[in-house]
Chain A
Amino acid sequence: MLKQLEEIRNAGLSRIKDAPDSDALQEVRQELLGKKGQLTQILKSLGSLDPETRPAVGKTANEIKNFFAEKMKEREEQLLSSESVLDAPIDLTLPGIMPQQGALHPITQMCYDLNDAFLSMGFEVFSEDDITSEKYAFDNLNFAADHPARETMDTYWLEGTENKSGAERLCLRPHLTGASVRYLLKHGAPARFVYPGRVYRNETTDARHERAFYQYEALVVDKDLSFSSGKVMIEAILSKVFGRKINVRMREGFFPFTEPGYEIDMECLVCGGKGCRVCHNSGWIEVMPGGVIHPNVLRAAGLDPEEWSGFYANIGLDRLVMMRYGVDDVRYFHSADLRFLEQFK
């Protein structure tokens, strides 16, 4: 009998070890320890055994039962640790299931990047309406009465007002600078604010020219300001936006609403300032006209130029976005073409 038990033990152990998965193991469990199992049968029939051998057989049978239980637990753990959730292998290169897709326009993205940078420096964001008047677009800004930009071939005047003048001659704003006077009239000085927005020029479009494009202008008005602070500001902003130090330079420029006026160039991001086709081999890209506010503009805003000073920086947003992504045709921005917009998720 003991010999038989020994056989049961050995056979059972190999059944347990050979069980390929949890289900098989469960079957083995039934077989070995279930009511119909040999071991149970033996234990059940203990009464009919010779009283002398009974204790030894009973003990051994129980030991084997415990042994099986232990081994099955081991095997179960072993099986679990190597078991996969899936029955069958899967192709891991299949595409993922996308979350709902959508995106801000790349120009809006750039605008928000700039907003974040300027807000962190205590600037407010101001928006002016798209339609303005000659008074705010030109007169206030020290544009000469016969400045060419006032012509219909440059500016979109509104029907019925095109032959009037000043506050009565209305147009889609040709630049953002007019908003500076509106803000200063409303809030006074000192002030530091940005005013992003779309501007309009009556011109023929091509890969580099649009009738509607975005500018981003910043203005600081304070006492005893030196114009050179403008360069620090631009450096700080560009570094924030592009995530690394961007070299800029400031040079002579002329705009009616500034004196002195300057152009701020930034190093060409395409070639890193070494010179390439994009920057006409100069290593610099002209991105920002700026300058000290012309005293006549301060007067238009009700401020005394002897007391107050300040400076502008005007960023061509379209151009900056084109630089950021290498977009080579400005007309994509207003195309509403999803094949283009999808790239800026």
Chain B
Amino acid sequence: MYVSLNWVKKYVDLPKDLGLDQLIYDLTMRTVEVEGYENPAEKYHDIVVGKIIEVKPHPNADKLRICITDIGEEELVQIVCGGCNLYDGEHVVVCRPGAEVIWHGEGEPVVIKEGKLRGESSYGMICNASEVYLEDIFPPESDEYIVDLNGQGTPGQNIADLVGMDDIVIEIDNKSLTNRPDLWGHYGIAREIAAIYKLDLKPLADTAVHTEGLPEFPIEIDVPEKCMRYAALEIHGVDAKKESPLWMKTALIKAGLRSINAIVDITNYVMLDVGQPTHAFDRTHVTDKIIVRNAKEGEKLELLDHNQLDLTTYDLVICDAEEPMALAGIRGGRKDSILPETSSVLLEVADFSAPTIRKTGKRFDEKTDASIRYEKGLDTERVDQGLAEAMRLFKEIFPDAEFTAFGDVYPIKTERAEVKITKEFMDVRLGKEFSVEDVKDTLGRLGFDVDFDGTTYTCLAPTWRSTGDISIKDDILDEMARLHSFESFETKPLPVNFDHAVNQPKENVDRRVREYLAFRCGFYEILTYPWVDDHFMQAAGITPDTTVRLATPPSPEQANLRTSLVPGMLQTAVSNLRYYDSFRVFESAEVFQPGVYHESTEDETLPLQKHFVTGMLVGSDPKLLFFQAKGVIENLARTCQVEPLSWKQVERPAWADDNVYLNIMAGKDLIGTLGLVRVSTLAAAGIKHAQLAIFEFDEDMLTPYKSRDNEFVHLPVFPLVEKDLSIIVDEAITWQEIEQAIDKHTREVKFVEEYRGEQIPEDKKSIMLTVKIGSDKGTMKAKQIDKQMNKIVKTLENRVGAQLREA
């Protein structure tokens, strides 16, 4: 919303020493967020009133004239102009050299220089309206038509000064006004400024509505809960061709509206002044009476452009005896329009309920200056202010106008909200003691009536704050806090509470897992959206029947919420393979499955939500990737201080290779999978020339230790002996079998490498391993070592059929 400071000054005298920055700061801190300000006069620098003394023909051009012009300087100046309406004595708009104009009314401003036109010197230019932001004030008849000021102004007078543009216009963030219906007009803002600086607020000119003796204009309201008040004033003797006076045009333009004609301008001016929307119907179009009712099934509203709005039975419409004429509080229809020949109007000043306007406005995607005000919830008393203001302006601008009939149906009156609050509650919650006088004065300036009985304040809010804004005692706290400025309250530190040391093992695990993957294992943490692309979901082999879906997804192919982080991984692989050929990423996030889960209360049934951690290793050697990933998981439990994990092969996820996958087990629970991404999934995802190993597990299934639990093991007293062994076994024999076979006879068994090829028979493989052996009784002697090693070799022979490979 744009607020003109000159307009505000009509209602409150601002102190001379109050700087603009201070005013903006105080408004922002206490009331509404000011986004910026500008002086509209700035763009009119060096644009002045000129009086043409003589118009002469141009010797070298038929269409150009030479104007000898008085622009208030010592000597007359010569200006070349192509205007079609030049005459001696005409007052025109002159841009002196240095002025900025919009050339031919289009594009960015350009700076005017002194120059020559077809050989004749020209000191600046005489402008048409669109070149100097004046087309709303002086509507041009044609492109060649220059602004004729009709004798207004004195030569050299700045044009902004003449039209009243020298002002400060403050822009207020509408979002910060949503809860304050009283601030959607200049009078409301003036009241707030007066309260902040403890200044006197001048009353509105005259709010008494003088309609005594006028015949009744018939009004029927069908739905009083949607239309709390409807007043209609019949006015004859107006003229839609009449332009508004300059001051009104300028006021509207500064507030961001356009000047249309005097009738429409009055209705807009009233709205900007007191915040009450008003609407003028052409009287001759209104048959008999006004009916305010819900639209009927199948009813339509015809618009000025002959389009039709399909109405629902919820929409509130303003009708005459025949049909709907307007969508209440939002927009008019064809029938109510003010036309050039309009000479009598029916002025509507009404109050509609906020939800009604909001709902219908939303459905038609229609936000008008009227509807944004009604949406906030206006009080019925304001209708009086709007009416009085409108009547005053109609009389002023159309001296011959006559008020010929009046109706005012007023089924529901906005009652003033009463809030009781004890002095103690206020002082404790605000952390500061306020005197009764201070409370009465602060709230009084906002229109409250405050009574104090020794312990409790009874605060009677003004009607303009009683449409939902003020209803509980905490609202009174807010009024006190903001008007004294939140900043003025002494800040109090929070009390320290020693019996509440925080230890949250579950939360700690989440952090440890992420830090382990990032800092120890070289993974980058990624974030992806919870809605997954159908393409990658299908590539991962996830079927949509197992998903939770969005009703209004970001795009049609992103309706499914993820059941696994794997599709996001595939997508990430594709996007990063453009720049990298090997990398590691992980994500720790929620996944969703249909199901029944009550998080807080029984009435609320949520789908299953699990916290998954998924890591992906991208590279070229699948076997290497797999074992690297396996190492990451095998180290995780100890490093992240959770109960141990183990491997089992029970259930293959759709994306995993038939042969290369393992399930991750926490105790007896299957909590996840590690595997190579299968060829068909890679192909479907569009991944070429790269291999992916992925692990994914349910983090909630990790059981954190309450504190670190591993026990210290004494260092060996006597040195261990390390021996390498190279054995040949059947392909079918696993490392696990080898390890378990000799576990008992060794202190440590370590895998070194696996080998197939020359010298190794078909269906066999060679395994190289290192064992450590030792004794608690003393350093092992050569004989003991040989004996022990023989035992180990024998055991390997017996248990896994291993043959020692000659070195």
Residues of A within 8 A of B (CB): 100-105, 107-108, 112, 115, 119, 121-125, 127-133, 135-136, 145-146, 148, 151-153, 156-162, 166-168, 170, 172, 181-182, 185-186, 190, 192, 198, 200, 202, 211-212, 220, 222, 224-229, 231-233, 249-254, 259-263, 280, 292, 294-295, 309, 333-339, 341-342
- B454-462, B471-479, B709-717: which lies at the interface: B471-479
Q: Is the CB of B580 within 8 A of A229?
A: no
B495, B575, B600: the one contacting A182 at CB < 8 Å is B600
Interface residue ranges of B292-329 to A (CB < 8 Å): none
Give chain B residues whose Cβ lies under 8 Å from the Cβ of A342: 524
Q: Which residues of B contact A153 (CB under 8 A)?
A: 552
Given A123-B502, A254-B176, does the pair A156, B599 have CB atoms closer than 8 Å? no
B718 at the A/B interface (Cβ < 8 Å)? no
Contact A334 B489 (CB under 8 A): no
Q: Which residues of B contact A151 (CB under 8 A)?
A: 362
Q: How many residues of B contact A (CB 8 A)?
A: 92
Q: Which residues of A contact B782 (CB under 8 A)?
A: none
B528 contacts A by Cβ under 8 Å: yes
Known A146-B358, A232-B491: A336·B576 in contact at CB below 8 Å: yes
Also in contact, A229 and B491, with CB within 8 A (given A100-B522, A129-B606, A295-B472)? yes
**Does B486 belong to the interface (CB within 8 Å)?**
yes
Query: Is A119 touching B502 in the complex (CB atoms < 8 A)?
Result: yes
Option from A131, A211, A228, A292 in Cβ contact (under 8 Å) with B606? A131
Residues of B within 8 A of A119 (CB): 502
A229–B493 contact, CB under 8 A? yes
Inter-subunit contact B492/A229 (CB<8 Å): yes
Q: Are A158 and B549 in contact (CB under 8 A)?
A: yes
With A102-B584, A167-B603, A228-B492 given, name 9 new contacts (CB 8 A). Answer: A130-B592, A130-B609, A131-B609, A159-B551, A226-B492, A227-B430, A232-B494, A260-B482, A295-B474
Are A122 and B496 neighbours in the complex by a CB distance under 8 Å? yes
Chain A residues with Cβ below 8 Å from B428 are 224, 226
Whether A260 touches B525, Cβ cut-off 8 Å, given contacts A229-B494, A252-B30, is no
- Is B526 part of the binding interface, using a Cβ–Cβ cutoff of 8 Å? yes
Judge whether B783 is part of the interface by a CB distance below 8 angstroms. no
Q: With an 8 A cutoff between CB atoms, is B583 at the interface?
A: yes
Q: How far is the CA of A157 from the CA of B561 in the complex (A)?
A: 12
The CA-CA distance from A20 to B518 in the complex, in Å, is: 51
Selected interface stretch from B62-70, B334-342, B507-515: B507-515
B803 beta carbon closer than 8 Å to chain A: no
- Chain B residues contacting A121 (CB-CB under 8 Å) are 494
Q: Are A226 and B429 in contact (CB under 8 A)?
A: yes
Contacts A/B (CB < 8 Å), 26 sampled: A103-B525, A104-B514, A108-B514, A124-B502, A129-B590, A131-B607, A131-B609, A148-B358, A158-B550, A162-B552, A172-B561, A222-B495, A227-B486, A231-B486, A250-B487, A251-B29, A260-B474, A261-B478, A262-B481, A263-B33, A334-B527, A334-B529, A336-B585, A338-B579, A338-B580, A342-B524
Check: B119 CB closer than 8 A to any chain A CB. no
Q: Is the CB of A104 within 8 A of B527?
A: no
Q: Is the CB of A112 within 8 A of B511?
A: yes
A123 to B550 Cα, complex, angstroms: 34
Contact with A along B697-716 (1 / 0, CB 8 A): 00000000000000000000
* A-B residue pair count with CB separations less than 8 angstroms: 239
Query: Do A181 and B527 touch across chains, with their CB atoms under 8 A apart?
Result: no
* Cβ-based interface call for B431 (8 A): yes
Asked if A254 meets B178 with Cβ closer than 8 Å, knowing A108-B525, A227-B489, A341-B526, the reply is yes
**Which chain B residues in 528-552 approach chain A with CB under 8 Å?**
528-530, 548-552
- Looking at B490, B517, B550, B609, the one whose CB has the most chain A CB atoms below 10 A away is B550
Cβ B572 vs Cβ A254 within 8 A: no
Find chain B residues with CB under 8 A from A227 CB: 429-431, 481, 486, 489
Answer whether A103 and B568 are a contact pair too, CB < 8 Å, given A129-B599, A260-B477, A341-B524.
Answer: no
What is the CB-to-nearest-CB distance from A342 to chain B, in angstroms, rounded to a whole number? 7
* Shortest Cβ gap from B371 to chain A (Å): 13
Given the complex of chains A and B, what is the CA–CA distance between A158 and B502 in angstroms? 36
Closest Cβ neighbor of A121 among chain B residues: B494
CB pair A170–B494 under 8 Å, yes or no, is: no
Q: In the complex, are the beta carbons of B576 and A338 less than 8 A apart? A: yes
- Cβ–Cβ < 8 Å partners of A224 in chain B: 428-429
The complex places the Cα of A333 from the Cα of B553 at a distance, in Å, of 20
Q: Which of A105, A132, A181 has the most CB of B within 10 A?
A: A105
Binary per-residue interface labels of chain B (606-623) against chain A in the complex, 1 for a CB within 8 Å, 0 otherwise: 110100000000000000
Knowing A102-B523, A229-B494, A334-B527, the reply to whether A262 touches B486 (Cβ < 8 A) is yes
Nearest B residue to A107, CB-CB: B527
Beta-carbon nearest neighbor of B471 in chain A: A259
In the assembled complex, the Cα of A135 lies from the Cα of B603 at a distance in Å of 10
Q: Chain A residues with Cβ under 8 A from B589's Cβ?
A: 198
Q: Nearest chain-A residue to B494 (Cβ)? A: A229
Give every chain B residue within 8 A of A136 (Cβ-Cβ): 600, 604
For residue A112, which residue of chain B has the nearest CB? B511
Q: In this complex, what residue of B is CB-closest to A128?
A: B599
Which single member of B432, B477, B527 contacts A292 (CB below 8 Å)? B477
Question: Are the C-beta atoms of B552 and A152 separated by less than 8 Å?
Answer: yes
For the complex, what is the distance from the CA of A224 to the CA of B427, rounded to whole Å? Answer: 10
Nearest opposing residue in chain A for B477, CB measure: A260
Residues of A near B723 (CB, < 8 A) are none
Q: When the two chains form their complex, are residues A130 and B590 in contact, meaning their CB atoms are under 8 A apart?
A: yes
CB contact under 8 A between A260 and B604, given known A104-B518, A309-B429:
no
Measured CB to CB, the nearest residue on chain B to A200 is: B530
User: Chain B nearest CB: distance from A331 CB in Å?
Assistant: 11
Chain A residues with CB under 8 A of B519: 102
